[in-house]
């Protein structure tokens, strides 16, 4: 099939491109490289099954052409990361919603199957875990920019499901829970690459808050395995589905594990949220997915542990560091 991946030079999108090309599909990636990186897809350049277009999903003329000629669309383009959200709330909202509106509009016009990624952030401050897809959502007040991402993604979900309700557009909404692994950068606040890089260089690991907040981290290869199955299953159309891992760990435990697996001498420093992100920042205390629906619909079951994730991220940092040292020496 011909498959379009928006944001395909990003962390998850590039792994998805790898997986789909491995299955024999022809892949077109469109990415403006604002948060994605060319290096993520450089190894695919020159192959007959891959095409990279550096442009924005807000280019409607181009998007109409790309969607018209494709079979499936994975709309992975999005603003990502807590730091980016806090520093650029306008860009966050516009990038997420306007881009999704463009994609859904043309997918509806040409009847293309489309996957819309959402986020565990939409569950907000809900205290009932594990989070199930039909749970009520509880976000914070609109003067807290921290919730702009969650609300924009929630609006994406409403729009996608409205298209399903009105025209039976074959759309799937996927709530991703803390996807991590190789190629992810800590530039925008992602915790695992930040911790691993600090541990490998024996630098202080900064834990925001008191470290008792917990998360579940899913390996990107498990996630893309699930993503590739969703658009092939008509039972998933019009559905909201969690994907991730349900192995819960506190952020303090994550820091300890990074130090242990890296055989590091790093110390931990606890940084108040106000210092890290500005006054009034609110966080979710727990974020644990129910994976029952994904298991029932596509047989989804994560196979990689948190140890696997940290080791894979560490291996990539070591490889990159070795390459940089070699270049300097030359």
Exposed (0-12), middle (13-18) or buried (19+): which is 143, by Cβ within 10 Å?
exposed
Domain containing residue 233: CATH number: 3.40.50.720
Could you tell me the two tokens for 240?
């909201």
- The confidence score (pLDDT) of residue 83 equals 65
- The confidence score (pLDDT) of residue 273 equals 86
Q: Is residue 183 part of a domain?
A: no
Backbone angles phi, psi at 89, to 5 degrees: -65, -35
Q: Is residue 187 part of a domain?
A: no
Question: Within the chain, how many helices (H) and strands (E) appear?
Answer: 11, 13
Number of domains in the chain: 1
Q: Mean pLDDT in runs of 10 for the chain (330 residues)? A: 97 97 97 92 93 96 98 91 70 87 98 97 92 94 83 95 98 97 79 95 95 96 98 97 97 97 97 81 89 98 96 92 60
Backbone angles phi, psi at 140, to 5 degrees: -95, -175
Q: Is residue 232 part of a domain?
A: yes
Q: Is residue 145 part of a domain?
A: yes
CA torsion sign for 206, 38, 6, 54 is positive
- The confidence score (pLDDT) of residue 95 equals 82
Q: Which residues participate in catalysis according to the annotation?
A: 149
- The confidence score (pLDDT) of residue 146 equals 78
- The confidence score (pLDDT) of residue 323 equals 64
Enumerate the β-bridge partners of residue 101: none
- The confidence score (pLDDT) of residue 81 equals 60
Query: Are 124 and 140 spatial neighbours (Cβ–Cβ below 8 Å)?
Result: yes
- The confidence score (pLDDT) of residue 172 equals 98
Q: Is residue 26 part of a domain?
A: yes
The CB density around residue 88, as the number of other CB atoms within 10 Å, is 16
Q: Residue 9, CB half-sphere, CA atoms under 13 Å: how many?
A: 21
Q: Is residue 263 part of a domain?
A: no
Query: Are 287 and 230 spatial neighbours (Cβ–Cβ below 8 Å)?
Result: no
Domain that holds residue 108: 2-177+221-244+286-303
Q: Distance between CA atoms of 304 and 310, rounded to whole angstroms?
A: 11
Q: Is residue 313 part of a domain?
A: no
Query: Are 76 and 117 spatial neighbours (Cβ–Cβ below 8 Å)?
Result: yes
CA neighbor of 136 nearest in space, from 148, 149, 127: 127
Q: Is residue 93 part of a domain?
A: yes
């Amino acid at each position: 099939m011909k498959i379009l991946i928006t944001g395909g030079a990003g962390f998850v999108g590039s792994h998805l491109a790898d997986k789909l090309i491995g299955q024999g599909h022809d892949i077109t990636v469109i990415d403006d490289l604002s948060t994605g990186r060319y290096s993520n897809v450089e190894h695919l350049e020159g192959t007959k099954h891959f095409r990279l277009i550096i442009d924005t999903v807000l280019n409607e003329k181009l998007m109409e052409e790309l969607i018209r000629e494709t079979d499936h669309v994975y709309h992975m383009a999005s603003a990502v990361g807590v730091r980016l959200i806090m520093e650029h709330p306008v860009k966050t909202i516009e990038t997420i919603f306007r881009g999704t509106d463009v994609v859904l509009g043309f997918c509806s016009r040409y009847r293309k199957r489309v996957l819309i990624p959402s986020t565990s952030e939409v569950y907000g401050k809900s205290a009932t875990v594990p989070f199930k897809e039909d749970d009520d959502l509880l976000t914070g007040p609109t003067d807290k920019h921290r919730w702009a991402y969650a609300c924009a993604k929630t609006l994406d979900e409403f729009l996608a499901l409205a298209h399903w309700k009105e025209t039976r557009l074959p759309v799937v909404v996927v709530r991703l829970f803390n996807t991590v692994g190789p190629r992810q950068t800590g530039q925008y606040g992602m915790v695992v690459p930040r911790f691993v890089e600090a541990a490998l260089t024996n630098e202080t690991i900064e834990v925001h808050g008191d470290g008792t907040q917990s998360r579940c981290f899913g390996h990107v290869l498990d996630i893309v395995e699930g993503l590739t199955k969703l658009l092939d299953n008509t039972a998933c159309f019009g559905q909201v589905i969690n994907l991730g891992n349900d192995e819960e760990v506190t952020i303090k435990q994550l820091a300890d594990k990074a130090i242990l697996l890296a055989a590091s001498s790093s110390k931990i420093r606890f940084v108040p949220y106000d210092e890290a992100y500005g006054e009034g920042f609110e966080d979710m205390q727990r974020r644990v997915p129910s994976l029952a629906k994904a298991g029932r619909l596509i047989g989804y079951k994560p196979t990689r542990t948190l140890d696997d994730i940290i080791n894979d991220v560490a291996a990539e940092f070591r490889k990159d560091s070795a390459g940089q040292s070699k270049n300097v020496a030359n």
